[in-house]
């Protein structure tokens, strides 16, 4: 992560290099005039060194600028976007080293072609503002990229779970005994679990848990399901066992925006918790049995949820951890959709894409997601069923006018408050999947043509279209205009 000291060094080095080039000075000439070595000047320009006051005075004198102007964090108009970038909380808190990025190398790239790179950076900032890309959006996008880099399987966290189980002699038979987690938190980390207070605070009604670090008190909302409580307790064990100090104190990191380190640590603790509740070798064996069954059977998937006593989201998230490592299915997507009570809109609230950006994916265009997706029509079925409960379905989704096809496994929930949600794992249909999933060609699994959004879909006579294909129509008009202009120009 970039510290303030690094930012100061980088901006100072950027100024020195820019001024040197504007004055037509070679590195050797400037170094001689200021009485420093060429290698030391090179370190300064790369943002790795910061000279003492007497040398800064010498640089100011030789380059014809004031001392204050040279040490300020302001850059001229041409390089102002990079100053804004370097001083933004996003870049300062972003762990560049996690992605193998060196801040100095970024500056070198900028200086190699400053005008073009600055235009590119300005474009990114403008797009971010126009589409209201907030800091948490950037953090979550970076986190997804981090997961994709590792196929969403983290050896260090899996090893940490195994060492925790061994150290505290935890029993991992499904379903996991939650009393072990509460005892561990109390005996090893002096936690006090409070299941009353949070229910008396109406302003916090959207939160499931709050941790008070000074009192070491974990507030749990009354009435949580067993799965919800298991996840919160497991995550608290993870924060302590993994030594994750920079952490959110609620179950929703976005409720108290912090640093990227908090977002990353929340993910690591969540991964640990789910891996603890669903032991790797047990679940792999259960998935092998599930995929080996010759016919699609929704009851088998529901049976796994019952066996482990976890939520559908926890189960399918854990499945995404294991498919690449144990089944060779490294290309997949995970989606969670939500629909509030009385609302007709579907919100894509969580997504993960491994190997590439699969369809479907989130957009901020306020368009209508395709109602042919199993994720959406199963939510409607769950809502129309008339009472709270789970529904499970499979679908082979073929994307209109593309070669893409996915086997989608979906679990939808409708609760007593009228809120509907669904979670889906999508697996690209290929030869490997045919070998691993024996029920893939079961004729009871519906095969449907799907698309991204209604506004961008040309499927004729769609029975569930929620909006006219306005984007298709706009493109057609644009093409007609271009054809007419070309004909006129060519004199036809």
Q: Could you tell me if 250 and 207 are in contact, meaning their C-beta atoms sit under 8 angstroms apart?
A: yes
Average pLDDT value for residue range 16-29 = 91
- Predicted local confidence at residue 29, as pLDDT: 94
Give mean pLDDT, residues 203-232: 94
| Same domain, residue pair 303 and 198 | no
Q: d(Cα 17, Cα 13) in Å, to the nearest integer?
A: 6
Which of 277, 295, 326 is at the close of a domain?
A: 277
Tell me whether residue 144 is in a domain. no
- Co-location of 251 and 189 in the same domain: yes
Domain membership of residue 14 (yes or no) is yes
* Per-residue burial over 96-126, b = 16 or more CB atoms within 10 Å of its CB, e = otherwise: eeeeeeebbebbeebbeebeebbeebeeeee
Confidence class for position 191, pLDDT limits 50, 70, 90: very high
Total domains present in the chain: 3
Domain of 117: which CATH number? 1.10.260.40
pLDDT band at 145 (very low <50, low <70, confident <90, very high): confident
Is 144's pLDDT higher than 70? yes
Residue that is last in its domain, among 277, 312, 335: 277
Contact 68, 36 (CB under 8 A): no
Band of residue 133 on the pLDDT scale cut at 50, 70, 90: low
* Terminal-residue alpha carbon distance, the chain: 61
Do residues 332 and 373 share a domain? yes
**Shared-domain flag, residues 348 and 460:** yes
Among 45-49, 81-85, 148-152, 389-393, where is mean pLDDT lowest? 81-85
Measured in degrees and rounded to the nearest 5, phi and psi for residue 359 equal -95, 140
Judge if the upstream peptide bond of residue 54 is cis by omega within 30 degrees of 0: no
Mean pLDDT on 395-404: 93
Do 346 and 363 form a contact (C-beta atoms < 8 A)?
Answer: no
Q: Is residue 492 part of a domain?
A: no
Question: Could you tell me if residue 108 is inside a domain?
Answer: yes
Q: Which of 390, 62, 328 is nearest to 70 (CA)?
A: 62
Q: Tell whether 272 and 310 lie within a shared domain.
A: no
Amino acid 427: pLDDT = 95
SS (H, E, C) 299-348: HHHHHHHHHHCCCHHHHHHHHHHHHHHHHCCCCEEEEEEEECCCCCCCEE
Could you tell me if residue 94 is inside a domain?
A: yes
In a domain, 61, yes or no: yes
Rounded CA separation 39/46 (Å): 11
Q: How confident is the model at residue 158 (pLDDT cuts 50, 70, 90)?
A: very high
Eight-state DSSP code of residue 453? B
Alpha carbons 221 and 232: distance in angstroms, whole number: 11
Residues 291 and 434 in one domain: yes
pLDDT of the residue at 84: 66
Residues 158, 186 share a domain: yes
Question: Residue 176 belongs to what domain range?
Answer: 149-277
Work out the number of other CB atoms within 10 angstroms of the CB of residue 331: 20
Q: Could you tell me if 168 and 238 lie in one domain?
A: yes
CATH number (domain holding residue 254): 1.10.10.2910
H or E element in which residue 353 lies:
strand 347-354
| Radius of gyration of the chain measured on its C-alpha atoms | 28
Residues paired with residue 192 on neighbouring β-strands, in sequence order? 217
pLDDT at 76: 72
Would the pLDDT of 136 be above 90? no
Percentage of the residues of the chain whose pLDDT score is greater than 70: 84
Does one domain contain both 331 and 389? yes
Instruction: State residue 103's pLDDT score.
Output: 62
Say yes or no: 379 and 461 in one domain: yes
Whether residues 193 and 211 share a domain: the answer is: yes
Q: What's the whole-model pTM score?
A: 0.80
Q: Phi and psi for 255 in degrees, rounded to 5?
A: -70, -25
Q: Is residue 210 part of a domain?
A: yes
Of the candidates 127, 107, 110, the residue with the CA atom closest to the CA atom of residue 118: 110
Contact 247, 239 (CB under 8 A): yes
Structure-model confidence comparison of residues 83 and 449, the more confident one: 449
Q: Each residue of 330-384: pLDDT tens digit?
A: 889 999 999 988 888 899 989 888 876 677 766 656 789 999 999 999 998 888 8
pLDDT of 113 reads 61
Domain end, chosen from 246, 262, 277, is at: 277
Assess whether pLDDT exceeds 70 at residue 397.
yes
pLDDT tier at 50, thresholds 50, 70, 90:
very high
* Confidence band for 87, pLDDT divided at 50, 70 and 90: low
In this structure, is residue 285 part of a structural domain? yes
Residues 284 and 392 in one domain: yes
């Amino acid at each position: 992560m970039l510290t303030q000291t690094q930012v100061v060094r980088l901006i100072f080095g950027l100024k020195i290099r820019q001024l040197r080039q504007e004055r037509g000075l070679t590195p050797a000439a400037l170094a001689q005039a200021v009485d420093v070595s060429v290698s030391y000047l090179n370190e300064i320009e790369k943002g790795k060194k910061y000279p003492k006051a007497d040398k800064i005075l010498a640089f100011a004198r030789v380059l014809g600028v004031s001392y204050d102007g040279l040490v300020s964090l302001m850059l001229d108009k041409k390089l102002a976007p990079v100053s804004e970038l370097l001083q933004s909380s996003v870049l300062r808190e972003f762990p560049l080293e996690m992605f193998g990025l060196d801040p100095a190398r970024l500056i070198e790239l900028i200086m190699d072609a400053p005008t073009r790179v600055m235009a590119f950076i300005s474009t990114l900032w403008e797009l971010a503002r126009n589409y209201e890309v907030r800091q948490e959006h950037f953090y979550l996008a970076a986190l997804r990229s981090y997961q994709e880099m590792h196929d969403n399987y983290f050896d260090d966290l899996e090893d940490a779970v195994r060492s925790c189980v061994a150290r505290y002699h935890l029993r991992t038979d499904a379903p996991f005994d939650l009393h072990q987690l509460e005892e561990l938190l109390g005996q090893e980390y002096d936690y006090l679990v409070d299941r009353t207070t949070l229910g008396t605070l109406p302003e916090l009604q959207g939160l499931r848990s709050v941790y008070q670090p000074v009192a070491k008190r974990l507030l749990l909302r009354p009435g949580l399901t067993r799965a919800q409580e298991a996840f919160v307790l497991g995550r608290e064990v993870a924060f302590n066992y993994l030594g994750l100090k920079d952490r959110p104190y609620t179950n929703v990191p976005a409720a108290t925006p912090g640093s990227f380190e908090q977002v990353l640590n929340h993910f690591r603790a969540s991964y640990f918790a789910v891996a603890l509740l669903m032991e790797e070798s047990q679940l792999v064996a259960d998935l092998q049995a599930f995929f080996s069954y010759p016919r699609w059977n929704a009851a088998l998937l529901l049976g796994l949820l019952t066996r482990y006593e976890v939520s559908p989201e926890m189960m399918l998230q854990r499945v995404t951890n294991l498919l690449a490592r144990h089944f060779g299915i490294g290309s997949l997507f995970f989606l969670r959709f939500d629909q509030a009570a009385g609302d007709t809109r579907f919100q894509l609230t969580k997504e993960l894409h491994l190997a590439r950006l699969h369809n479907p994916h989130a957009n901020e265009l306020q368009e209508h997601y395709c109602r042919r997706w199993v994720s959406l029509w199963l939510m409607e079925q769950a809502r129309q069923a008339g009472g709270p409960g789970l529904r499970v379905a499979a679908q082979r989704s073929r994307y209109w006018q593309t070669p893409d096809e996915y086997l989608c496994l979906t679990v939808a929930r409708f609760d007593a408050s009228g809120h509907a949600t669904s979670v889906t794992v999508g697996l690209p249909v290929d030869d490997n999947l045919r070998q691993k999933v024996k029920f893939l060609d079961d004729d009871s699994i519906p095969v449907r043509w799907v698309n991204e959004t209604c506004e961008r879909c040309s499927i004729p006579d769609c029975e569930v279209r929620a909006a006219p294909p306005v984007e298709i129509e706009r493109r057609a008009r644009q093409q007609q205009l271009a054809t007419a202009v070309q004909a006129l120009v060519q004199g036809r």
